[in-house]
């Protein structure tokens, strides 16, 4: 397994992060446990979840499942760098959502209870809360750090200027602030190259990417649809993109075939090769999918193949960071 330090911290995380969105919903409990065991056995020490995952059954179900797995012992909790999130509604009550100090602290305590652990390694804000002053947010996070309930704070789905705003407010309080930003980044969605990645680099914030396959679109979706094996692609946002960019996706799959490589593995390898990316979240539905994506760590995309990929999935504007991407 390949490891890297998360942002400017001394915390070492695997370059593949196990996403748990499917656990308990699309992936049965027993297979979820087997996948987490397999992850640790392969050296994947970074797991990502969220307080509301499992909402299709009940909010918090996925954290409960992970807590059961931790309770099996064997050093499972000690070897795992655990990231979870706060922001989304956990009930219909008005204060059971967002980033108020009340909700941040209560949500952390509830996550700890469900996860059956004493601490969270990376406590992430799932989205920016435009109604919450940063002084309030950081005061709450400081309380949790001082109590030993969280080790680091991360963000998710922030714009570049939100990262700057958050970090400047943290600096005024002599607080470490954000150590990571989790953002959507793949061949189809390259918007973060404009401002999020440059801002993260400037502030020493590690980048964790999610949806490297864009909801299954980049995982051989056309072939799977033809074979009748496309479970995720056929019922996700990927289907709409496929209808709009079918020729491009088909050309991408042909390119991967010419390289004798799997489209999913090429997509994950491409994201991992991008400057500033520390780790990418893979959310396999089955144990077989997880074991397959591990091969992406050793895949190297050559210069010619990279140029062909860029031609199929060009960056936003002229490429690179703003403002050069759109100005002279």
Task: List active site positions.
Answer: 53
Listed by start position, the domains of the chain span 12-214+263-300
The pLDDT value given to residue 99: 97
DSSP 167-229: HHHHHHTT---EEEEEEE-SSS--GGGTTHHHHHHHHT-EEEEE-TTTTTTTTTHHHHHHHT-
The pLDDT value given to residue 289: 86
Task: Please state, in angstroms and rounded to a whole number, the distance separating the CA atoms of residues 140 and 143.
Answer: 5
The pLDDT value given to residue 292: 83
The pLDDT value given to residue 122: 98
* Cβ-based neighbour number of residue 100 at 10 Å: 20
Q: Between 3.40.50.670, 3.20.20.100, 1.10.730.10, 3.40.50.1580, what CATH number should domain 12-214+263-300 receive?
A: 3.20.20.100
The pLDDT value given to residue 225: 76
The pLDDT value given to residue 226: 76
The pLDDT value given to residue 228: 66
Could you say which residues of the chain have pLDDT below 50?
none
The pLDDT value given to residue 65: 97
The pLDDT value given to residue 231: 59
The pLDDT value given to residue 158: 97
Question: In this structure, what are the phi and psi dihedrals at residue 102, rounded to the nearest 5 degrees?
Answer: -60, -50
Q: What's the maximum distance between 2 C-alpha atoms anywhere in the chain?
A: 58
The tokens of 327 are what? 């100005």
């Amino acid at each position: 397994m390949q490891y890297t330090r998360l942002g400017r911290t001394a915390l070492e995380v695997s370059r593949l992060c196990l996403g748990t969105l499917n656990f308990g919903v699309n992936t049965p409990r027993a297979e979820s446990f087997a996948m987490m065991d397999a992850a640790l056995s392969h050296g994947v020490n970074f797991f990502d979840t969220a307080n509301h995952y499992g909402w299709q059954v009940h909010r918090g179900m996925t954290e409960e499942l992970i807590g059961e797995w931790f309770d099996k012992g064997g050093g499972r909790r000690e070897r795992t760098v655990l990231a979870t999130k706060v922001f989304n509604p956990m009930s219909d009550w008005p204060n059971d959502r967002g980033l108020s100090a009340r909700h941040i602290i209560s949500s952390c305590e509830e996550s700890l209870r469900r996860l059956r652990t004493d601490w969270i390694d990376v406590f992430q804000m799932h989205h920016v809360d435009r109604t919450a002053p940063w002084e309030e947010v950081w005061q709450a996070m400081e309380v949790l750090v001082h109590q030993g309930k969280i080790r680091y704070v991360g963000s998710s789905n922030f714009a570049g200027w939100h990262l700057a705003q958050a970090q400047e407010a943290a600096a005024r309080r002599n607080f470490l602030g954000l150590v990571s930003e989790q953002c959507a980044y793949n061949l189809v969605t390259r918007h973060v190259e404009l401002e999020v990645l440059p801002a993260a680099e400037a502030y020493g914030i590690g980048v964790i990417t999610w949806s490297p396959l864009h909801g299954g679109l980049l995982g051989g979706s056309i072939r799977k649809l033809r074979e009748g094996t496309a479970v995720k692609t056929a019922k996700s946002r990927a289907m709409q993109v496929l209808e709009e960019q079918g020729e491009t996706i088909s050309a991408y799959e042909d390119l991967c075939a010419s390289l004798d490589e799997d489209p999913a593995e090429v997509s994950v390898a491409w994201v991992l090769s991008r400057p500033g990316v520390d780790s990418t979240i893979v959310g396999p539905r089955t144990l077989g999918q997880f074991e397959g994506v591990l091969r992406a760590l050793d895949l190297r995309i050559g210069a010619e193949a990279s140029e062909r990929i860029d031609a199929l999935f060009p960056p936003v504007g002229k490429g690179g960071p703003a403002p050069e991407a759109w100005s002279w």
